[in-house]
Chain A
Amino acid sequence: MMFLFYVNLATILCFFTSISNGNIQQTVLRGVQTSLLSMYIPSKPFTCLDGSLTIPFEFVNDDYCDCQDGSDEPGTSACPNGQFFCENKGYFGTLIPSHFVGDGVCDCCDGSDEYETIIVCNNTCFELAQKFQASRDAQRALHAAGVEKKKQILASTTTNKFGRQFSQKHLDELEQDLKILEKELKEKEELKRQVEILENAAKEKHKKLCEEKRTMQDVSLRNNQMHEMFADLDTNGDSLISIDELQKHTELDTNQQNEFTIEEVRSILGSDSVNLNEFNTTIFDQISNSYRQLPEPTRPTPEPTPLPEPSIDSMTTQSPSLETFIDEEDLTTHTRSSYKYEDEDDYEEDHHRESKTLATSIEHEKHIHDSVAPEYDDETKKLMEIAEEARNRYHEIGEKFLSIKHQIEDLKKQSTVDAGPHDEYSPIIDQCFDYEEREYTYRICMFKTAKQISKGGGSEVIIGYWDSWCGPKDNKYLKMKYSNGATCWNGPPRSLIVTLQCGIEQKLTDVREPSRCEYTIIFETPLACDENIATTSLHSDHVEF
């Protein structure tokens, strides 16, 4: 607001300074909060509370804003940033913005903010006080009962901080085992490596022989199938495959929960129609696995078979640009991989490499699906058997190694989880809770994962992994954050904020998705109940809309 300094104030004030409009029928100290009354002394000039200006006291509450901080007009709406004090006898006195004064909305429970308007504000202070009292009592009772429950839970739990420290011994044992296994694993790996050299040499030789023949078969087979499929799809014989034509093939719908919509069809076709050539280059390979001939039109359409989920491994080899999504996918199926230890991931890396090699061969098989698999000669077969044996051993030990390693990770993680200021949430570490909604079950395994499970059967979607406590600065343990869940179509990775609330039973309520793929949920638990609330009174808040 403007900074004003009036010259010759004293003399000018003798004049009638305004054609009377506005609300100057002031009650001088209207809107001044009790604690500041000493600053407003009618016999003295008034100094704005920020000290920026001194004005005649007549300018206080004269419906004109003189002070930058709005302190000269606590009782009118003249200043955009002033504060009006509602006395609210029988309830709590509250401060509201002074621009709420006279706006036709009853903001003070005593109605004092609407002194100048024609609207009638009922005095609701008594009611509010009663409600407040009742709610405070209820809170107190809830927290008291909750605290009792909490004590029971804490007493009966073994995985509190104390217990978790105790497991150090167990951890040491496991780490010992892990070292032994690691050594063994290296031996097996060496063995495997040696036999595989022999095996690969033999296979390579054989492969070269078969390759030419296979390629030829492959191409002509594919071509035949492609033509057949095109002719079959092109029901109206216009040498184009249109959206309607493809849409009949509901087996191609990758998302079987919805109907096979035009958009989905279009996303497969890439346009409204394709000719043979486009079909050959962009469509055929993608739909050939799931494609089925339509039954006779007179018969009812059979239930479409959902497309098997594409193998993760086979995808890994496809396109480097997909890597980010692959990682997410990895997480959903191999949650462990998020707990990698830098110095102990040899096996995992190998394992990964292994699956890539494996994937290439699956991919290859897909291409030659119907042609006869190449027959190896006996010597090669023998070598392959040996190699297979060595691989199995290696994997056997590898699995054991991983399992122990993950146990260690869990233990370590558990012992490092921040389970609240007094470790009070340790009883629920790893405990899972479900919330049932129309379409989905939401399952939160505390300090671990949050999932959305479709009730229609089928998929689980990870909506987040335990991330951190994320309440406001003064109450960090109010909210939990689970982040980095599966990425949304056209959106962010899913995430979840859990707000903790005192309750007698442990349960999830009120799941919401305020932004796309950003979920919120409330978790009621006795562990969130507060001894202080159980014994003392609550502070009041301005009651809003």
Chain B
Amino acid sequence: MKRFIHLTYFIFILFILNIPSIENVDRSNFKTCEQSSFCRRQRKYKPDISPYEIDLNSTKIIKNGHLRFLLLNTLKSHIKFKLEIFTLEHNSLRIKINELNPIRKRYEVKYSLVGELKLVNMNITKSDEKQIEVNFGERTKFLLNAKPFRLDLFTNDIFVMSVNSNNMFNFEYYRKKPESNKTATNNNNEDGMWEETFKNHHDSKPYGPSSIGVDVNFLNFENVYGIPEHADAFSLRSTHDSDPYRLFNVDVFEYDILNPMALYGSVPYMLAHNEHTTVGFFWLNSAEGWIDVNYNKLSLKNFFSTNTNFFATQSNTKNNEIPEVTTHWMFESGIFDGFFFMGPTPRDIFKQYTVITGSVPLPPLWAIAYHQCRWNYIDEDDVRNVLNGFEHHRIPLDVIWLDIEHTNGKRYFTWDISKFPNPEKLQDDIAIYRRKIITVSDPHIKKDDGYQIYNEAKTRGYFVKTKDGQDYEGSCWPGSSMWLEFFNPDIFKWYSQRYLFENYKGTTGNLFLWNDMNEPSVFNGPEITFPKDIVHYGGWEDREVHNLYGMLHHMSTFQGLLNRSNGHIRPFILTRSFFAGSQRTAAIWTGDNSAQWSHLKITIPMLLSLSITGFGFSGADVGGFFNNPDPKLLVRWYQMAAYQPFYREHAHIDTARREPWLFGDDNTRLIRQAIEQRYSYLPYWYTLFYKQERQGIPPMLPLWANFPKDKKIFKSEDSFMIGNGLLVYPVIEADINQISVYFPGENTVWYDIQTYTQYNGSETVLINVDMESIPVYQLGGVIIPRRLRKRRSSMIALHDPITLVVALDRNYEAKGELYMDDGYTYDYRRKRELIYRRFTFKNNELRSTSLDTTAKFHTDAWIERIIILGYPENPSRVIINSGDKQATPLHNYQEASHTLIIRRPGPSVTSDWTLSIS
């Protein structure tokens, strides 16, 4: 980015190009399905009868839980495929289809899976020449139809998913390139099979066509979700009149919202939910992908009759029609490696997916607090001034970030010493407040003989190669650059070692990392990324592994940070590009959004889509990266993001400064309050992140995850939940003084977290809002731990007292958890230094018990206050017992709001105690 561009230049450019305005994405930089030849071929493939058939005589039981069949294409009988079925623990099924004897080995992704998958027994209940029926898991089964090939899946005997029921399974086997002669030249490249040109970028396609298409259909469902990353609705929209949703990691400059274009990361994982069941389908494939979504009514008359009984229990079988979501998945290469998660509940689904790909590990406490970033904090003085601003304005802060300009000419692992002459001192000073610093490190390496990293990588041959074996050179921030070949384990390791203190000079244990531009972004590459015929380690083309590059980059960084502390300190890395499995080692953000109300709004569906596909630690740039937010938008953004997992302000270098105190006293106060609310709920957030590590449940959830039967909320994307306790309805419109809030769940009761006003479930209420308002409601039945004391940073507050907010349900009961540990090391795993408490309110008694009695953690933290919401009357006495101690803490009852506040009950958070109210 040029710092000073002359006015005359600007005028001249405008003059010659006649650009009306430079605002949104240049869509012509990215392929449409029509322009991506395999998508074009696959999308139009729809025979009346599928030519694929299973030879049931070939059935082979490899072991219990693993079957193998031959799959044939009756039109090309010489090509044989093998189809393997694995029944996995937790109601999951894996189907792999590959060529039996491919002339070139087909790529299988290994990085996404965590360890060996555990098989469970399958019970073949029926087997004849037409089909085979197998029970597995808990009341789940599949039915494999042989002619044509088709797979039907059932949860609790209800038909939920079907593969190839629309005959779109289409496997392009590897073939020899036809001999070219003059007359046949055109035919040889029929439909872009053997080469393809996009905007002057030629894709040589030396191995020809290799794509796979398949239809996966969700029966009796009206909503499907997931397949991030798209700036689009949460409940996926029909692609009938648009391109399919695209999965291809690219750097999209100033992306548009509400369209299926690809963005920075890809997770080929889709969920479907209805009031009975939640299911999921994950196709592990790292090539470019396209997914069509269509909403249909399926006529049962046309469906084969034996299945009709599976719908009998459904209410909407009138006219013999049921809803169906048909999806058509197309990938450019690789194999079919499909995982079917059978649910049946949302929580089961979260578990099932994260058992396969891993869950977000518990982040350090400070990482879920507030982050201040900008492209760029210019120098040490600037950083110190910003930190002083937070001190002066009494705004809590945990992390300050340094973007690319802190380096010496975009040479990562270096500092611009004219601006940062003493980075260690800076980090040490920041550490006094237990704050952290994060620097950016991108995967492109400046082509410069004077740059040690470049030289070493060049000499050792560590750069990504072109199809001709030359080092691939492209352009990015530093100008001419090369990219590291992370697929090679030696290079992966070497790169990770660059993060060791001895190699990354000027860093201390208080510095963590940010991996940006890792799609990778190549300014002059096709679609601003690598050419597809680049050859990676092992001979794989970028075509086959493209969507993994960013993940390998941040995995290597993670390894480096882990090794830096000998495995003692939890790393933190933020990545822009990601793939299924990235959640194990990095947090992600939604990239370069914009300071517009529409972008504020889209944040909710984008983060929900990420949450349910494994990325529970994600966020969007507060305020919007591009352009200048007006103060109202900025305040609203701070208010919303205070309730989203990753909370970071970030801004483009061309924007005006926007530290929280630059918009007048009122706005400073509003922003401070929003950030303070975040900090007050950190004990709850941290507990939720621990649960996520253990159970795969993301902290930020769609409403239906907690109220799966409430049909009104299946498309909700103006609201979300934090855990099972907080319902958030952020104000996302510019000029409104009322919002409509629907309280989900039958017989539920909700409490405004500020006023304690009660609302009933299944009701829609108009709520008045002003600039102070952050409409958030606590669910009756849930106990939430908070810290109502204020501190400068989260780590400083680590041992501060806790306030319990007990929101009673209609039976005057509630429960909740509190997790605590040292906030930054792995001692919670290695030495089990943690506390995990369960609080239960029942029969006028609040009990604290341990959920993990083998664990212990020393803390001075104590319970300073208990707030009981929805308590019916003023009690005469409150007694607390802990071991042999007894006390009668004072209490105060607020008649109007039915709130009972118990003053200074005083037990340690680590102890068992019982509070009795009479």
Contact = CB atoms under 8 A, between A and B. Distances in A.
A and B are interacting partners: yes
A180 interface: no
Contacts of A271: 28, 199
A19 B882 contact: yes
A489 B901 contact: no
A478 to B, nearest CB: 17
Nearest to B13: A267
Given A104-B796, A516-B655, A545 B388 contact: yes
Contacts of A113: none
Interface string A79-123: 011000000000000000101100111000000000000000000
A262 interface: yes
A326 B12 CA distance: 11
B51 interface: no
A255 B5 CA distance: 8
A35 B20 CA distance: 65
A27 interface: no
Contact of A15 (B479, B790, B887, B913): B887
A544 B394 CA distance: 12
A489 B789 contact: no
Given A4-B892, A310-B15, A332-B7, A80 B789 contact: yes
A322 B13 CA distance: 11
A255 B796 CA distance: 50
B12 A325 contact: no
A433 interface: no
Contacts of A282: 16-17
B862 A22 contact: yes
B904 A318 contact: no
Given A99-B791, A242-B200, A329-B8, A18 B16 contact: no
A309 B229 CA distance: 45
Contacts of A162: none
A425 B378 CA distance: 32
A257 B544 CA distance: 41
B22 interface: yes
A37 B887 CA distance: 32
A394 B809 CA distance: 91
A310 B888 CA distance: 85
Interface centre among B800, B882, B904 (most CB of A within 10 A): B904
A442 to B, nearest CB: 12
Contact of A5 (B201, B392, B479, B892): B892
A322 B11 CA distance: 8
Given A104-B796, A310-B15, A319-B18, A514 B789 contact: no
Interface string A44-67: 000000000000000000111100
Interface in A122-167: none
B842 interface: no
Interface class of chain A by DSSP:
loop
Given A6-B903, A16-B888, A544 B7 contact: no
B445 to A, nearest CB: 18
Contacts of A325: 7, 10-11, 14
Contacts of A77: 789-791, 800
B78 interface: no
Contact of B11 (A7, A286, A315, A512): A315
Contacts of A326: 11
B654 interface: yes
Contacts of B14: 322, 325
Given A6-B903, A80-B789, A267-B13, A259 B378 contact: no
A103 B12 contact: no
Contacts of B388: 544-545
A25 interface: no
Nearest to B907: A19
Contacts of A328: 7
A346 to B, nearest CB: 28
B624 interface: no
Interface in A302-343: 307, 309-310, 315, 318-319, 321-322, 325-326, 328-329, 332
A525 interface: no
Given A310-B12, A315-B15, A273 B887 contact: no
B7 A4 contact: no
B796 A258 contact: no
Interface string A280-295: 0011001100000000
B378 A544 contact: no
B9 interface: yes
B524 interface: yes
B182 interface: no
B591 to A, nearest CB: 19
Contact of B384 (A5, A459, A489, A545): A545
A240 B198 CA distance: 13
A524 B199 CA distance: 56
A488 B388 CA distance: 29
Contact of A512 (B378, B523, B863, B880): B378
A314 to B, nearest CB: 10
Interface stretch (B130-138, B426-434, B545-553, B559-567): B426-434
Contacts of A454: 4
Interface string B391-404: 11010000000000
Nearest to B200: A273
B7 A17 contact: no
A490 B434 contact: no
B475 A254 contact: no
A404 interface: no
A435 to B, nearest CB: 16
B19 to A, nearest CB: 9
Contacts of A318: 15
B782 to A, nearest CB: 20
Contacts of B864: 22, 63-64, 78
Contact of B475 (A16, A78, A99, A261): A261
Nearest to B888: A15
A64 B903 contact: yes
B886 interface: yes
Given A310-B12, A310-B15, A492 B656 contact: yes
Contacts of B28: 271
Contacts of B886: 16, 19
Nearest to A243: B524
Interface in B777-793: 788-792
Contact of A19 (B394, B475, B676, B887): B887
B257 interface: no
Contact of A515 (B8, B657, B889): B657
A418 to B, nearest CB: 25
A513 interface: yes
B129 interface: no
Given A310-B8, A325-B7, A12 B17 contact: no
Interface in A428-481: 452, 454, 459, 461
Interface in A1-30: 1-2, 4-7, 9, 12, 15-22
Given A16-B886, A65-B788, 10 more contacts: A63-B904, A105-B796, A243-B200, A315-B15, A325-B11, A328-B7, A332-B7, A512-B378, A514-B378, A544-B388
13 contacts: A17-B887, A17-B904, A21-B907, A22-B862, A97-B790, A255-B9, A283-B16, A322-B11, A459-B8, A487-B7, A489-B2, A514-B657, A516-B655
The 10 closest A-B CB pairs, nearest first, are A21-B862, A18-B906, A286-B16, A80-B790, A273-B200, A489-B5, A19-B906, A272-B199, A515-B657, A99-B790
